[in-house]
Structure 1
Amino acid sequence: MARRVMIKGNEAIAMGAIEAGCRYYFGYPITPQTDIPEYLAAVLPKMGGTFLQAESEVAAINMLMGAAATGARAMTSSSSPGISLKQEGISYLAGSQIPGVIVNMSRSGPGLGGIHPSQGDYFQSTRGGGHGDYRTLVLAPSTAQENYDLTMLAFDLADKYRNPVMVLGDALIGQIKEPVELKAYRKKPKAKPWALTGAEGRHGQILKSLFLADGELTDHNWLLDKKYKSMEKEVRYETYRAEDAKMMLVAFGSVGRILRTSVDILRDKGKAVGLMRPITLFPFPTKAVRQTAEAAQVLLAMEMSTGQMVEDVRLAADCACPVDFYGRPPGSIPTPDELAKEAMKVWRKRGLK
């Protein structure tokens, strides 16, 4: 039976990982995600699992790769500059087709920046981030409940596609405390015939990302590309008060959460405004955004950055309607009133009635 508890968003991620069968965690402390390793350090050893604070973020991602190569469910977490250090290892995971879950509770940048929430890691997360032609699945929660649910989903998707999956939150989503329904994980683990479990009684096998024979790497990259295209079936998004909307706001994560109240404010003023919140950032809900653009008179992308997701919104809209943008660099959290005010500016600019 499910039970409801009041917990932090970061703790919800840790609890979701344990429920999904994660027994190996490798990480390094950095604000604002340190609650995740703190929780797992206390709980995993009691369950027969392994918690290891690595000497660096680079070591942590490579430890994850080693554990996951044996078929175990393994996870690491960090925040923006720490995720930057993990990029080489994430590329190796993708190239070797080894699943793993990476959590980024992002903070402001560039450089050391600060510990405020930020959505400036969108490009890094959805474009691969490291070297080579690869992608990671990216899930963007907006509540502590989604932290729990999407972390469990992340492990399933990682195994399904033999690919790294990123859960992209931020300081707001990680530090907020709210009720979470702890649902039981009921899926049966599937066999992993590709895993490295020793060669006794069978032929040895290799997991690698180095392909030197003529044409071999070309074929491997086309194989990966086909896999990334097949991920389109995993698209997830949410709409709010969208049925008759003349203006659709498009936002993910914490800004998508705040905008629900902004939409209510604008609706109370008689403005037909709705919200689309992508939950999968890769694969991006391109078809859904295109359909929204065909139905609405204007789209307004809103982000806690100077503009990253807006590029995907414009590509998806494909000139079906104008796409405006409001960017709010990190440093503080935008209020519903502030975002509603900015949306009204676009409403008037576009001459909507």
Structure 2
Amino acid sequence: MAKELWKGNEAIAEAAIKAGCRFFFGYPITPQNEIPEYMSLRLPQVGGCFLQAESEVAAINMVYGAAGAGARVMTSSSSPGISLKQEGITYIAGAELPCVIVNIVRGGPGLGGIQPAQSDYFQATKGGGHGDYHLVVLAPDSIQEAVNLVQEAFDIADQYRNPVMILGDGMIGQMMEPVEFTEVKRRQLPEKTWATTGLRGRKEHNIINSLFIDPAACEQHNLKIFEKYAQIEKNEIKVEEYNLEGAEIVFAAYGTVARIVKNAIKALEKDGIKAGLIRPITLWPFPKANFLKAAEMPSVKAFLSVEMSMGQMVEDVELSVKGKKPVYFYGRTGGMVPTPKAIVEEAKKILGGAK
């Protein structure tokens, strides 16, 4: 199949449809509006249902209902809208329901601005709602990777009965790139015998629930879902390692920022400085072992986490390297984007002072 030029948001929506998504519930907010717009056109064409809810709160609870019935369902929003969905997201995680949530991140806090940012990392990876739970969080660095990850996200959600978040900054949603809609390898998935679709020969109805009045029962439920999270950590880590051999400094970056960092690495190489990159594709589960292994490399003097935030992923990098090498941070915020030149200057400053 030939590549076609697609806008990020529209490509994400089409990828969801190709993955079998037939239900979408959402509410408009910039810079992700093209996702619901596209879904409103395409879903009726494939026998699906698009519904613009009266609010983000209503939308996520509609997702809960469709997921509980076993449907492939998606919602999308941008930062403040995702904040409004948090109670529903933790209910979905607690009820062990599969769905896909897309967050095209904008600057904050508060209403912030509509420019790209990565300041929702904590919210996505540490559980933005209440209780003990995790989302699987996938962070594409291109529209092609977004298309591939969206399709895989539905399989991951179904396999583990867990919500999966696609975390992309505003650039992923708004820029245009060549895309090929290749068939992503499908997983062998169990039948959804838990779904609320009537008795179907069973003696009792299925019940979807996240309420446990008995504290011992609630604890057992938490222990059960954390056994599932341990399996996800074992099986689902995705990471790119770039130019690590002989690196003096290792960058940590995800999403579109990683592409900017690669340009900085090329510029540093021209100045005789060897630099590498570890790009987490799964922000949760986080590729801790990759960072620890890099920290044990004799050539590595320091790590530099580059983010469009005031410093969020840098904490996971620090935890991962376990104090074996110093970890530094460089970030822009509020919708400002780091430049290769500024990243190069920061790396040179660190290497000048690193022991």
- Alpha-carbon distance in structure 1 between the residues aligned to 2:192 and 2:145: 27
Deviation at 1:213, TM superposition (A): 2.6
Q: Tell me if 1:193 matches 2:188.
A: no
RMSD: 1.2
> For residue 231 of structure 1, what is the aligned residue in structure 2?
232
> For residue 55 of structure 1, what is the aligned residue in structure 2?
54
Deviates more, 1:253-262 or 1:195-204: 195-204
Equivalent position amino acid for 2:206 in 1: Q
Q: Tell me if 1:317 matches 2:337.
A: no
Q: Which runs of 5+ in 2 are unaligned?
A: none
| Alpha-carbon contact 1:68-1:99 (below 8 Å) kept | yes
> For residue 177 of structure 1, what is the aligned residue in structure 2?
176
- Alpha-carbon distance in structure 1 between the residues aligned to 2:184 and 2:270: 40
| Alpha-carbon contact 1:19-1:185 (below 8 Å) kept | no
Deviates more, 1:341-350 or 1:43-52: 341-350
Equivalent position amino acid for 1:268 in 2: K
- Alpha-carbon distance in structure 1 between the residues aligned to 2:118 and 2:215: 41
| Alpha-carbon contact 1:91-1:134 (below 8 Å) kept | yes
Name the CA shift for 1:212/1:262 in 2 (closer, same or farther; >3 Å).
same
> For residue 165 of structure 1, what is the aligned residue in structure 2?
164
Q: Tell me if 1:334 matches 2:338.
A: yes
> For residue 4 of structure 1, what is the aligned residue in structure 2?
3
Q: Tell me if 1:86 matches 2:110.
A: no
Identity %: 53
Deviation at 1:15, TM superposition (A): 1.2
Corresponding residue SS for 1:277: strand
- Alpha-carbon distance in structure 1 between the residues aligned to 2:4 and 2:324: 44
Corresponding residue SS for 1:179: strand
Cα deviation per residue 1:28-68 (whole Å; 9 max; x = unaligned)? 11000001111111111011000001110001101011011
The normalised TM-score by structure 1 is 0.97
> For residue 265 of structure 2, what is the aligned residue in structure 1?
263
- Alpha-carbon distance in structure 1 between the residues aligned to 2:217 and 2:20: 35
| Alpha-carbon contact 1:140-1:278 (below 8 Å) kept | yes
Deviation at 1:214, TM superposition (A): 4.7
Corresponding residue SS for 2:222: helix
The normalised TM-score by structure 2 is 0.96
Equivalent position amino acid for 1:243 in 2: E
Deviates more, 1:179-188 or 1:257-266: 179-188
Which structure 2 residues correspond to residues 198-209 of structure 1 after superposition, within 5 A? 198-202=198-202, 203-209=204-210
Deviation at 1:161, TM superposition (A): 0.7
Corresponding residue SS for 1:276: strand
- Alpha-carbon distance in structure 1 between the residues aligned to 2:328 and 2:21: 41
Deviation at 1:334, TM superposition (A): 1.9
Q: Tell me if 1:215 matches 2:219.
A: no
Which structure 2 residues correspond to residues 277-288 of structure 1 after superposition, within 5 A? 277-288=279-290
Equivalent position amino acid for 2:56 in 1: E
| Alpha-carbon contact 2:25-2:74 (below 8 Å) kept | yes
Deviation at 1:201, TM superposition (A): 2.5
Corresponding residue SS for 2:350: helix
Aligned residues between the structures: 350
- Alpha-carbon distance in structure 2 between the residues aligned to 1:244 and 1:63: 51
Corresponding residue SS for 1:103: strand
- Alpha-carbon distance in structure 2 between the residues aligned to 1:170 and 1:68: 26
- Alpha-carbon distance in structure 1 between the residues aligned to 2:247 and 2:121: 26
- Alpha-carbon distance in structure 1 between the residues aligned to 2:169 and 2:3: 23
